[in-house]
Amino acid sequence: MADAVKTRLAELGLTLPVSAAPVANYVPFHVVDGWVYTSGQLPMTDKGLSCTGRLGADVDVATGVEAAKLAALQVIAKLNDATEGNLDRIEKIVRVDVFVASAIDFFDQPTIGNGASDLFVAAFGDAGRHTRNAVGVAVLPRNAPVEVAVIAKLKA
Amino acid sequence: MADAVKTRLAELGLTLPVSAAPVANYVPFHVVDGWVYTSGQLPMTDKGLSCTGRLGADVDVATGVEAAKLAALQVIAKLNDATEGNLDRIEKIVRVDVFVASAIDFFDQPTIGNGASDLFVAAFGDAGRHTRNAVGVAVLPRNAPVEVAVIAKLKA
Amino acid sequence: MADAVKTRLAELGLTLPVSAAPVANYVPFHVVDGWVYTSGQLPMTDKGLSCTGRLGADVDVATGVEAAKLAALQVIAKLNDATEGNLDRIEKIVRVDVFVASAIDFFDQPTIGNGASDLFVAAFGDAGRHTRNAVGVAVLPRNAPVEVAVIAKLKA
């Protein structure tokens, strides 16, 4: 039976992707004392990265926003694993880190970050409203345009 | 009535700024289980960003230190909101993240970071002593020179 | 008497370094409610930084991996201080942040990150398996090639 989060995702035409495996020696998530930490997620699809390159150079804003959304969808897949398939157990998405691979004259990381943030809010409602760091880094693993990680709290 | 933190800020000639609104779809802070997370703050004044550009390129060290201080003051304004106006409820500033927009030959992020760190210690005393990450990023939202975020713990 | 972690480090031919002092106005670690936060650590040896520069420009992959390992060893020295010399008190390394100073065409931050991650797993076993963010930043303090920070949980 779908939880409310998956129902909302379905209404948006989205399904959880096959959870991407870590690309190195780390784990996709940890649950400790009711806190969930996810590793940084890239915009992986079943065909690999949705795009590569940097904002302001190789990747335009619309493509970057979509990439951030796909990275956030990978985060939600990890949260789904962390909650054993019941995303309604998420009390709050507390912190979202958004790293945007950026040319030095690209200043619109907030818009790119909203690709992730808007999905969290659409999927989780109030529980998806979060604090955020969004910064423009030089380059990301595999030349990905964006990486997104989350700290969330489970219901007691 | 002013708490001890605001009294110390006043002695430094500082008052809490009007709390800057988020520039995108996120919230300024969360309080969860006694932990306060703030979103990344830019050096906003009532006239907008105090300066723009990168350290080692457009922004000199003294200006960067002042910008970090102003970003930290925005963080304190968020902590003030999170504590409903009583900053004495902060037990400890646990972690400070400092992102410094940097040319690739600018290596003095620690000095820029101290613009924020020194203010936290001056304002909160021992409770303001913190762990820190300070890194040189390619670029920041709105071409800001520095972004500062905090994780703090409230008194029980 | 050595804890199991130090025994494993010895088997790897490693000893904890003299704990590097903070390079600015912050503390090396905090312990709050059983959570340990370390400040970002550079690859410091008793002769200073093991190397300087950026991956993809001045530093090759093997040297970068070794630098990440040395930064992780500094993190472990901080965890040792945080546990008053008993690293077996670490229940879990929850989150590892790896910042890699990178030229914009260097995409292999995951391999560099493994220099740190592999050491955490070798030293702590299952307790060392962690979530991770690894990103390519423009530049790091003192022109270091890598910076590593950790959030860990102590046993109850």
Test A95 with B30 for CB contact under 8 angstroms. Answer: yes
Give CA–CA dist A152/A95, Å, rounded.
Answer: 7
Q: Within 13 Å, how many C-alpha atoms sit on residue A4's CB side?
A: 12
- The β-bridge partners of C100 are C136, C146
- Could you state, in order of their start, the residue ranges of all structural domains in chain A? 4-13+27-154
Place of tokens 């969330």: A152
In sequence order, what E strands does chain B have?
29-32, 35-38, 44-45, 48-49, 90-101, 131-137, 146-154
Query: Which chains share 3+ C-beta pairs under 8 angstroms with B?
Result: A, C
The answer to whether the beta carbons of residues A52 and A58 sit under 8 Å apart is yes
Residue among A129, A135, A151 whose CB faces B140 most closely: A135
pLDDT at B22: 84
Strands B35-38 and B48-49: unpaired
Q: B50-156 — its CATH code?
A: 3.30.1330.40
What local confidence, expressed as pLDDT, does residue A91 receive? 98
Cα angle A127-A131-A133, degrees, rounded to a multiple of 5: 140
Is residue B43 over pLDDT 70? yes
The CA distance from B83 to B73, in Å, is 15
Whether the predicted pLDDT of B69 surpasses 80: yes
- Residue-wise pLDDT for B6-19, tens only, equals 999 999 999 999 87
Model pLDDT, residue A51: 98
Amino acid C1: pLDDT: 57
CB-nearest partner of B139 from A131, A136, A151: A136
**What are the beta bridge partners of residue C41?**
C148
- Structure confidence at residue B2 (pLDDT): 80
pLDDT of residue A1: 57
For residue A99, what are the CA distances in angstroms to A40, A110, B23, C28?
9, 11, 16, 25
A125, amino acid identity:
G
Cβ neighbours of C135 in A, within 8 Å? 40, 99, 137, 140-141, 147
- CB contacts, 8 Å: B103 with chain C: 138-139
On whether any CB of chain B is under 8 Å from the CB of A155, the answer is no
B52-67: b (≥16 Cβ within 10 Å) or e: bbbbbeebeeebbbbb
Is B32 an interface residue toward A (CB < 8 Å)? yes
- CATH dotted code for A4-13+27-154: 3.30.1330.40
Q: Does domain C31-154 have CATH number 3.30.1330.40?
A: yes
ipTM of the complex: 0.96
Q: Does C40 contact B at CB distance below 8 Å?
A: yes
Task: Give helix then strand counts, H and E, for chain A.
Answer: 3, 7
User: Across the interface, which of B29, B40, B101 has its CB nearest the CB of A134?
Assistant: B40
Averaged in consecutive runs of 10 residues, what is the pLDDT profile of chain A (156 residues)? Answer: 90 89 90 97 95 98 98 98 97 98 98 98 97 98 98 97
**Residue B1 confidence (pLDDT) above 70:** no
Q: What is the average per-residue pLDDT within B108-115?
A: 98
